[in-house]
């Protein structure tokens, strides 16, 4: 039973590589967001370079690491963003598993969600490079996952099947009458054959 299930999962992953990639990226993003949230609240040791341009601590301890006007670390909204992205990919995978088409709204919604996340990423990259002059390695991985999610979702939207317009039925070709002969109709044929039958 487990082997058969694994075979079906592998077949689904091969049939839907884009959805599988979206789900895997969401899982990776959730894992990193949970780790960075633990660093903020639980003083979990931060595994990152502490010298040079790549230095996570100054970035994660700056005012840009929290939602403006709050003490909520920005990793929490990031966590929710990846959960929502994974949910959208999961819905499409479940429908594909059942052999049913995915909802028409799902691909545009995933692109819009990816675009919203990408706008936040651009703001955070600006803050790191221009304001802090430091780069957080963990944040960069999250940024790349967000960018890849947007690009894959956009690629899926571009391959959305668009129904083709129905072509009007073609009229049968008109027969051109032969020269020197009047066009015969079924009525004319019956009228011609009637005297012949009477003569017999």
Where do we find the tokens 């990639």? 21
Position 166 scores a pLDDT of 37
For residues 127 and 146, what is the distance between their CA atoms, to the nearest angstrom?
17
Indicate whether 177 belongs to any domain.
no
The conformational region for residue 157 under phi > 0 = left, psi -120 to 50 = alpha, else beta, is alpha
> Which two tokens mark 87?
């949910």
> Which two tokens mark 34?
């949970």
Position 87 scores a pLDDT of 98
Q: Name the DSSP class of 129.
A: I
Indicate whether 12 belongs to any domain.
no
Indicate whether 183 belongs to any domain.
no
Q: Which domain holds residue 64?
A: 17-158
Position 33 scores a pLDDT of 97
Indicate whether 194 belongs to any domain.
no
Indicate whether 142 belongs to any domain.
yes
Report pLDDT digits (tens) over 184-193. 555 545 554 4
Least-confidence region, from 40-54, 92-106, 120-134, 161-175 = 161-175
Mean pLDDT, to the nearest integer, of 72-93?
97
Tell me if residue 135 falls in helix, strand or coil: strand
Indicate whether 61 belongs to any domain.
yes
Indicate whether 176 belongs to any domain.
no
Domain count, the chain: 1
Report pLDDT digits (tens) over 111-166. 999 999 999 999 999 999 999 999 999 999 999 999 999 999 999 999 876 433 33
Which residues are CB-contacts of 41 (< 8 A; sequence separation ≥ 6)?
73
Tell me if residue 73 falls in helix, strand or coil: strand
CB 59 within 8 A of CB 65: yes
Mean pLDDT, to the nearest integer, of 13-28?
95
Indicate whether 89 belongs to any domain.
yes
- Specify the CATH number for the domain of residue 145: 1.20.1440.130
Position 102 scores a pLDDT of 93
Tell me if residue 54 falls in helix, strand or coil: strand
- Helices vs. strands in the chain: H and E counts, helices first: 7, 0
Q: Roughly what angle, to the nearest 10 degrees, separates helices 2-15 and 75-97?
A: 100
Position 81 scores a pLDDT of 98
Q: Could you tell me the pTM of the whole model?
A: 0.77
> Which two tokens mark 16?
């839907």
Position 179 scores a pLDDT of 58
- Over the chain, what is the mean pLDDT? 85
């Amino acid at each position: 039973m487990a082997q058969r299930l694994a075979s079906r999962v592998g077949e689904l992953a091969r049939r839907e590589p884009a959805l599988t990639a979206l789900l895997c990226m969401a899982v990776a993003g959730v894992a990193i967001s949970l780790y960075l949230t633990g660093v903020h609240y639980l003083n979990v040791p931060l595994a990152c370079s502490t010298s040079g341009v790549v230095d996570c601590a100054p970035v994660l301890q700056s005012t840009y690491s929290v939602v403006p006007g709050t003490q909520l670390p920005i990793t929490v909204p990031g966590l929710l963003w990846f959960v929502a992205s994974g949910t959208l990919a999961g819905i499409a995978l479940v429908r594909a598993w059942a052999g049913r088409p995915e909802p028409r709204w799902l691909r545009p919604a995933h692109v819009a969600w990816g675009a919203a996340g990408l706008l936040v990423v651009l703001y955070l990259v600006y803050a790191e490079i221009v304001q802090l002059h430091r780069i957080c390695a963990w944040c960069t991985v999250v940024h790349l996952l967000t960018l890849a999610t947007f690009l894959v979702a956009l690629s899926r939207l571009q391959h959305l099947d668009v129904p083709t317009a129905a072509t009007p039925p073609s009229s049968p070709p008109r027969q051109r009458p032969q020269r020197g002969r009047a066009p015969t109709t079924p009525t004319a044929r019956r009228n011609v054959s009637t005297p012949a039958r009477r003569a017999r």
